[in-house]
Structure 1
Amino acid sequence: MDPLSEVLSLLKLRSYVSGGFDANGDWAVQFGAHDGIKFHAVLRGECWVMVEGVADPVKVSEGECFLLARGKPFRLASDLAVEPVDIRTLLPQVQDGRIVTYNGGGEFLSIGGYFTLANGQADLLLSMLPPLVHVREEPSRATLRWCIERMRQELSDVQPGDFIVAQQLATLVLVEALRLHVSNERRESVGWLFALSDKRMRAAIDAMHASPGRRWTLQTMAEQAAMSRTTFALRFKETVGLSPMEYLTRWRMMLATDRLTHSRDSVSAIGLALGYESEKSFSTAFKRVMNCSPRQYSRQRKAGTSNFDVGV
């Protein structure tokens, strides 16, 4: 499994399609704060997107989509001068539980939804993304447009299992949007997500993900990237934003938190599987990253009351 797939899997990504918005004439709609990642795909027409705290509005056209990764309130509008209405006041007008119609509809149509992520680990992905990600598809890659069109069909034509299909398509939209975002970003963008576009950095990250329990050294990591140790360490820090050892520790802690929550393995067994020689060394590394011991984390998570975050 590749690193992006592994991270999304560990984050327990779940997609939900909440329905569509069909408008006509001049309009503006205000949406409140939200959890996880929201997305909107424009199927017809165009709109302006304004996100709280983001200085410049963005125009999104037919066939494009945008992601909202920081949970901030936002506004969609045909004209920025139009006074917005709260989306909640329009929900009673939803047709068939799927489409919100405004001013009769017919001129603008979008499909919206959101993605939820596991608590305590979501920052590994969200920290890589700005509050607003505008995704414009490249002509040579039609996957995004196809997914969006299929979502429209599933929401428009009532048939068994249509919402499940739409949710799976939404996951494809997110992955394709992340791919396009990474490929279109400037080369100086920093973070593990952007480092995956660098063949040498990806080779090292792939190896760490494939064998997290290996007794890694800076030299063995550099060999995966076919680089000298010094050059590799500098390049990794520049592209990922963490040193190689910091990134390895973070990945190990992601795996550890997942196993502490969802398995019956002992703390010592988890630590040993992740490359730590003793339970004490594992617990020390875990507490440095998570601000609590593995046993405390396990009790809190299984009780459903944990507020701990992964952070290096």
Structure 2
Amino acid sequence: MDPLSEVLSLLKLRSHVSGGFDASGAWGVRFGPYEGIKFHAVLAGQCWLLVDGEPEPVKITEGECFLLARGTPFRISSDMAVEAVSFSTHLPPVRDGRIVTHNGGGEFLSIGGYFTLADGQADLLLNMLPPVIHVREEPGLSTLRWCIERMRQELCEPQPGGEIVAQQLATLVLVQALRLQLSRGRRDGVGWLFALADKRMRTVINAMHETPGVKWTVQTLAEQAAMSRTTFAIRFKELVGLSPMDYLTRWRMTLAADRLAHSRDSIYEIGLAVGYESEKSFSTAFKRAMNCSPRQYGRRQNAGGEDLR
């Protein structure tokens, strides 16, 4: 499994399609803070998006979509001069598959929802994403347009199993949006996600993810990248923001935390699987990274399920 698929699987990504939004004339709607990743796809018309703290609004047109991952309030409107009303207090409650109308008429139609992630490790992905992901460029837009059109059909022409289909389409939209982020080659992006755009770094990250229990060293990782030890270490730190061994440790602890929460394996077995030959060395590394011992972490999960808050 490739690193992006592994991270999304580990984070227990879940898609939730709230429903559609139909508006005409002059309109503006404000959304409050949220958790996870918000998404909106414009099925007809256009709107302006303004996220709190961002200097400029973004124009979103038919067939495009946007994703937000910082939990920051935002507004969408037909015109930035229109005063926005609160979505939660001025419009009907949203139920799955419902189209909420605001002035009605169908000039603007969008479908929206959100993605939830497992608590505790969600920053693995959220910290990699910019405040606004505006999906509009080729390549890949044709796939997104197909997904958006299919979501429109599921919304406007309900069929058995439509909710599941819409959720899977939303997941495909997210993955395609992340792929487009990589294809843009963002030079200012730092983190494992952006490092995947570099072929040599992608090879190394793949190796770490596929075999976390191997006794990796900076030298053996550099060999995977076909680079000198020094050049590799510098390049990896520039792109990922962590040293190779720090990234490896973080990935190992992320895997260990997931197994502590969702398996019956012993602490020794989990430590061995992620590269530690003794329970003591694993426990020391885990506590340094997670601020609690493996045993304490496991008890916390058993007491509170998957919710770490």
**TM-score, normalization by structure 2:** 0.96
Residues 205 and 106 of structure 1: CA distance in aligned 2, closer, same or farther (over 3 Å): same
- Alpha-carbon shift at residue 182 of structure 1 (Å): 2.0
Asked if 1:126 is matched to 2:126, the reply is yes
Partners of 1:192 and 1:306 in 2: how far apart? Answer: 25
* Cα deviation 1:58-78 (Å, max 9, x = unaligned): 111111111110111110101
- 1:25-40 equivalences under 5 Å are 25-40=25-40
2:57 match: 57
User: Deviations for 1:88-118, whole angstroms, at most 9, x for unmatched residues?
Assistant: 2454387995111121231111110000000
* Cα distance in 1, alignment partners of residues 173 and 231 from structure 2: 36
Measured in 2, the distance between the counterparts of 1:255 and 1:93 equals: 38
- Tell me what 2:99 maps to: 99
Q: Secondary structure at the match of 2:282?
A: helix
Q: 1:269/1:93 Cα in 2 relative to 1: closer, same or farther (>3 Å)?
A: closer
Rounded to whole Å, the distance in 1 between the matches of 2:96 and 2:248 is 48
Q: Do the aligned partners of 1:192 and 1:240 also contact (CA within 8 Å) in 2?
A: yes
Shift in alpha-carbon separation, 1:93–1:286, aligned structure 2, 3 A? closer
Determine the structure 2 residue equivalent to 1:261.
Answer: 261
The 3-state SS of whatever aligns with 2:147 is: helix
Q: CA offset at residue 131 of structure 1?
A: 2.1
Contact 2:42 2:109 in 1 (8 A): yes
Show structure 1 runs of 5+ residues with no match.
none
Q: Provide the secondary structure at the position in 2 that maps to 1:142.
A: helix
1:213 is matched with: 213
- Aligned partners of 1:51 and 1:74 also within 8 Å: yes
Within 5 Å, give how 1:75-154 maps onto structure 2. 75-92=75-92, 98-138=98-138, 141-154=141-154
2:301 and 2:308 in contact (8 A); partners too: no
Residues in 1 aligned to 2:292 and 2:47: alpha-carbon distance in whole angstroms: 46
**Residue 18 of structure 2 contacts residue 94 of structure 2 at CA under 8 Å; is this kept in 1?**
no
Q: In structure 1, the residue corresponding to 2:92 is in which secondary structure?
A: helix
Q: Corresponding residue for 1:171?
A: 171
Moved more, 141-150 or 8-17: 141-150
- In structure 2, the residue matched to 1:7 is 7
Contact residue 69 and residue 129 of structure 1 kept, 8 A: yes
Q: Is the 8 A contact 1:90 1:100 kept in 2?
A: no
Distance 1:244 1:96 in 2: 43
| Residue 189 (structure 2) aligns with | 189
**Is 1:43 matched up with 2:43?**
yes
Q: State the Cα RMSD in Å.
A: 1.8
The answer on whether the counterparts of 2:18 and 2:95 sit within 8 Å (CA) in structure 1 is: no
1:10-44 residue CA offsets vs partner (Å, 9 max, x unmatched) = 00000000001111111000111111000001111
Higher alpha-carbon deviation: 19-28 or 184-193 = 184-193
- CA 1:95–1:305 in 2, change beyond 3 Å: closer, same or farther? closer
Offset of 1:156 from its aligned partner?
A: 0.9
Aligned 8 A contact 1:93 1:101 in 2 = no
- SS of residue matched to 2:221: helix
Structure 2: runs of 5+ lacking an equivalent:
none
> What secondary structure is seen at the aligned counterpart in 2 of 1:246?
helix
Please say which of residues 176-185 and 139-148 is displaced more in the overlay: 139-148
**Residue pair 1:291, 1:308 contacting (<8 A) in 2 also:** no
Q: Is 2:71 the partner of 1:71? A: yes
Q: Hey, what's the Cα distance between the residues in 2 that align with 1:69 and 1:49?
A: 14
Partner of 1:21: 21
Residues 1:243 and 2:259 aligned together: no
- Aligned mates of 1:146, 1:109 — CA distance in 2: 16
Change (3 A) 1:157 1:207: same
Q: Secondary structure at the match of 2:114?
A: strand
Residue 29 of structure 1 aligns to a residue in which SS? Answer: strand
Which residue identity is paired with 1:259? R
Count of aligned pairs: 309
Structure 1's consecutive aligned runs of 4 or more residues displaced over 4 angstroms after TM superposition are 93-97, 305-309
TM-score by length of 1: 0.95
- Cα distance per residue 1:247-296 (max 9 Å; x no partner): 10011011000000000111111101111121111111111110010000
Report the residue type matching 1:116 in the other structure: T
Question: Deviation digits for residues 193-251 of structure 1, max 9, x if unmatched?
Answer: 01111000000000011100000011110111111111110110011111100110011
Contact 2:259 2:265 in 1 (8 A): yes
- Report the AA paired with residue 132 of structure 2: L
